[in-house]
Copies of this chain bind each other. A is one copy, B any other.
Amino acid sequence: MLNSSLDRTFAALADPTRRAMVERLVQGPATVSELARPLPMSLPAAMLHLKVLEDSGLVTSEKNGRVRTCRIDPARLSLAERWVSERRQMWEARLDRLGAFLDETEETP
């Protein structure tokens, strides 16, 4: 399905814990522990959130030795941004058409 990646991306961003992780990762790569440390939950819980972010494609990671380094994928951020932006633009385009129609209609009152 074409949209299921949008599903997962928006769902990933719907949680404050996961947005906090994104917020951290836009400053640069981080390990699993670094991401989990500030969070008010157990490490396994944090890893589940991380898994949601990875499944959405917003975050990628690679393991070297015993440490896994995570980084954000800005392309996925753009994907979500673009969907919203395009819909807002459609809405604006409709308003423009409506305005033009009204201008035409009320010529020489």
* Oligomeric state, in copies: 2
Q: Interface digits, A16-39 against B, CB 8 Å rule (1 contact, 0 not)?
A: 100100110011100000000000
A29 CB to nearest B CB, Å: 10
Q: Provide the residues of chain B in CB contact with A10, threshold 8 Å.
A: 10-11, 13-14
Main secondary structure of the interface of A (DSSP, over half): helix
Q: Which residue of B8, B14, B27, B94 contacts A90 across the interface (Cβ within 8 Å)?
A: B27
B7 and A91 contacting across the interface, CB-CB below 8 Å: no
Give Cα distance in the complex from A11 to B81, angstroms. Answer: 15
Give Cα distance in the complex from A92 to B28, angstroms. Answer: 10
B13 and A84 contacting across the interface, CB-CB below 8 Å: yes
Query: Which of A15, A22, A84, A94 has its CB near the most chain B CB atoms (within 10 A)?
Result: A84
A51 CB to nearest B CB, Å: 16
A3 and B19 contacting across the interface, CB-CB below 8 Å: yes
B84 and A26 contacting across the interface, CB-CB below 8 Å: no
A84 CB to nearest B CB, Å: 4
A8 CB to nearest B CB, Å: 8
